[in-house]
Amino acid sequence: MALSMFDQLLMQLACKCRKRPAVAIGYFDIISTFICPICGTVTDTRDEPHRTLLSELRYLATELDTQTRGSGEVVERIK
């Protein structure tokens, strides 16, 4: 069994703090905004440049998961 790339690929967020948190792209299947727990900066993935970056990462994750399935492995998402 392989873990889906949606749960492995990280998107770094634009925060004002120096921590610059990264969140798995699968997190944005449910919500479209992220509030940094450190500095409170809100990142909205519906706005540019986040929308384009997230779209590209989702495409990459889909392609990589498809290749993994093609090699006979089961791809599973974290729930």
Name the nearest CA neighbour of 34 among 20, 45, 18, 48.
45
Which pLDDT band holds residue 79 (cuts at 50, 70, 90)?
confident
Rounded Cα–Cα distance for residues 23 and 37 (Å): 12
SS3 letters across 13-35: CCCCCCCCCEEEHHHHHCCCEEE
Encode pLDDT of 56-71 as tens digits: 999 999 999 999 999 9
Residue 9 sits at φ, ψ, to 5 deg, of -70, 130
